[in-house]
Amino acid sequence: MDKVLKLSQQFYRQYKQLKTNKKDINTLNKSDLYTDLRLTIDHLDIDKIFRIKDEVQFRNNLKLGFSKLHEEEGINIGIFYISQFGQMPLHDHPDMFVFTRPIYGKAKKTFFTLCDEKDIRTQFEYPINFWLNESYDQSKEVTVKAQVSEMHLLQKGDQTQVVEPIKNNLHEIIAVENYAFLDVLIPDYDMMNAKRFCNFYTPKKLIDSNQFIYEMKIQAFPEQYDIQEVQSPLIMQKIA
């Protein structure tokens, strides 16, 4: 895990430099560092690093849980837990890269990609208006278009998947059985500085059945989204 952290730090420095110079952060997915980080997570020996048990991490009627492993500027590393038949609702990751890998159980995961620049602008403008504009009508329904870009049945040990600033930026996860995944966010959400809010989405209707494009209602928060703190499964006490 130490190497994952070091590569994440390097990746964030490159990300920050591109942002500062007003360059395209999406080009990072073609960098050697992107590949190295992804492969390093792929090669983690899950059973030597994590010890997850139903009676420990999924106790007390847990529905959705999280263990924070490491946090610093621009980086948040942790583990999410979803109980069997539970769901992580459809949400986004504005201007973020998120490296995820299944480490326990099975789940269905669906990725969506916003269809055009207008939808991406809405992803940023809507939460700023909702949370910070006192004159904004919060009852107003705002929609975007998003296309199903990937669907997977995931299980422990599968390869790392990456959410990118444009591609696969929205996803939802439904647990087939108790499920946990490693989650590396670069950068993290930043609501305090009004940069990266987490938005939630509800499909309203299928617009194009051939390309699986949906009209989605965007929301500042879902009806139910309670994340419980869960005991860390790290066999080592912490990431260096």
How would you list the strands of the sheet with 179-186, edge to edge? 161-163, 97-104, 179-186, 75-82, 64-72, 228-229
> Does residue 207 surpass a pLDDT of 80?
yes
> In 3-state terms, what secondary structure has residue 196?
strand
| Segment 18-46 mean pLDDT | 97
Cis peptide before 187 (omega within 30 of 0): yes
Lookup result for tokens 């942002």: 19
For residue 161, is pLDDT > 60? Answer: yes
Q: Give the pLDDT confidence score for residue 79 in this predicted structure.
A: 97
pLDDT at residue 216 tops 70 = yes
pTM: 0.94
The pLDDT score that the predictor gives to residue 193 is 82
SS3 state at 182: strand
Model pLDDT, residue 221? 83
pLDDT score of 238: 60
Please answer whether residues 83 and 174 qualify as being in contact, where contact means their C-beta atoms are separated by less than 8 angstroms. no
* Residue-wise pLDDT tens digits, 95-126: 999 999 999 999 999 999 999 999 999 999 99
pLDDT of residue 239: 64
- The whole-angstrom separation of Cα 234 and Cα 240 is 12
pLDDT tens digits, 53-68 = 999 999 888 899 999 9
What pLDDT was estimated at residue 150?
A: 96
CATH number of 2-229: 2.60.120.10
Beta strands in 73-222 (DSSP E): 75-82, 87-91, 97-104, 106-114, 143-155, 161-163, 170-175, 179-186, 200-208, 213-219
Domain ranges of the chain: 2-229
pLDDT of residue 183: 98
Instruction: Return mean pLDDT, the chain.
Output: 94
